[in-house]
Amino acid sequence: MSNSIRCFIAIEIPAEIQLALSRVIHQAQLNRESGFRPVRPESIHLTLKFLGDVEQEKAAGITAGLNELSNKVEPFTFQVRGLGAFPTWDRPRTIWAGLQCPPALPGLFRIVDEFTSNAGFPGESRKFSPHLTLARVSEQADPLVARRRIAALQTLPETLFGEVHATHLTFFRSILQPDGSVYRPLSVHSFT
Contact 14, 162 (CB under 8 A): yes
Alpha-carbon distances, residue 56 vs 29, 80, 112 (angstroms): 39, 33, 19
Cα–Cα distance between 80 and 84 in angstroms, integer? 12
Just list the catalytic residues. Answer: 45, 131
Contact 128, 109 (CB under 8 A): yes
Q: In the sheet where 4-12 sits, what is the strand order?
A: 45-55, 4-12, 168-175, 182-190
Cα–Cα distance between 103 and 65 in angstroms, integer? 22
